[in-house]
Homo-oligomer: A and B are copies of this chain.
Amino acid sequence: MSSPGNVPVKVVVDRRVKIAEVVLRCLVCGLGVLVAALVGTDTQVKEIFSIEKKAKFTDMKSLLFLVVTNGIVAGYSLIQGIRCVVSMIKGRVLFNKALAWAIFSCDQVMAYVTLAALAAATQSAMLAEEGQVEMQWLKVCGLYGSFCTQIGEGIVAALVVSLTTITISSLSAFNLFRLYGGHKRIKNCGGW
């Protein structure tokens, strides 16, 4: 298996993919925690006609969904990041199809779920910021300004999380599907 002209190319590509994967998974882990913290701790109290009203993230299901999904994706990325580092230290390359399928499937789910959560939260945030006159839904960000600002920061961080998980899902697709290219032919090389 040591073809002098080609193995170095494959090793360099493998190493770059692994390093990129570790960096991206660490980024998702850190930003996922940041999103959960920013949105999950966000509250604002207002006094309206001597009645105290409190805005919190659980008032909107989409924000709760955003916090939960970003918390899960952060934990998952931590575990996957550790797996990547261990396999780099041990010098292992992913050639196990079952494991590659499992990682690919989980990464795909994470990418789609984080994007869905982001889209739903962004839609709610836009309604809160602009209102919807036709539905008689009023702007609430005029009242809860700092609450909305912090949610906005969380959504920007969630956008980066989402784009990064999408990139990771492409990387794991690469790691999986290249196992299906030309390998069967190699076995019969002697017969060519």
Residues of A participating in the B interface, judged by any CB pair closer than 8 Å: 3, 5-6, 9-10, 55, 59-62, 108, 111-112, 115-120, 122-124, 126-128, 132, 134-138, 140, 166, 170, 173-174, 176-192
Contacts of A173 on B, CB cut-off 8 Å? 170, 173-174, 177
- Of B119, B166, B177, B187, the residue contacting A119 (CB under 8 A) is B119
Q: Are B180 and A3 in contact (CB under 8 A)?
A: no
Q: Are A3 and B120 in contact (CB under 8 A)?
A: no
Q: Are A188 and B3 in contact (CB under 8 A)?
A: yes
- Of B61, B123, B184, B189, the residue contacting A10 (CB under 8 A) is B184
- Of B59, B112, B132, B187, the residue contacting A59 (CB under 8 A) is B132
Among residues of B, the one whose C-beta sits closest to the C-beta of A10 is B184
- Of B55, B179, B192, the residue contacting A3 (CB under 8 A) is B192
Q: Are B186 and A185 in contact (CB under 8 A)?
A: yes
Q: Are B60 and A132 in contact (CB under 8 A)?
A: yes
Contacts of A180 on B, CB cut-off 8 Å? 174, 178, 181
Contacts of A111 on B, CB cut-off 8 Å? 112
Within the complex, the shortest CB–CB distance from A83 to chain B, in Å, comes to 20
Known contacts A120-B123, A170-B173: does B115 contact A185 (CB below 8 Å)?
no
Within the complex, the shortest CB–CB distance from A35 to chain B, in Å, comes to 16
* Cα–Cα distance between A192 and B1 once the two chains are bound (Å): 8
* Cα–Cα distance between A130 and B82 once the two chains are bound (Å): 42
- Of B120, B134, B181, B186, the residue contacting A178 (CB under 8 A) is B181
Contacts of A117 on B, CB cut-off 8 Å? 119
- Of B127, B166, B174, the residue contacting A127 (CB under 8 A) is B127
Contacts of A187 on B, CB cut-off 8 Å? 6
Among residues of B, the one whose C-beta sits closest to the C-beta of A6 is B184
**Nearest 7 CB-CB pairs, A to B?**
A181-B181, A182-B182, A177-B177, A178-B181, A119-B119, A189-B189, A59-B134
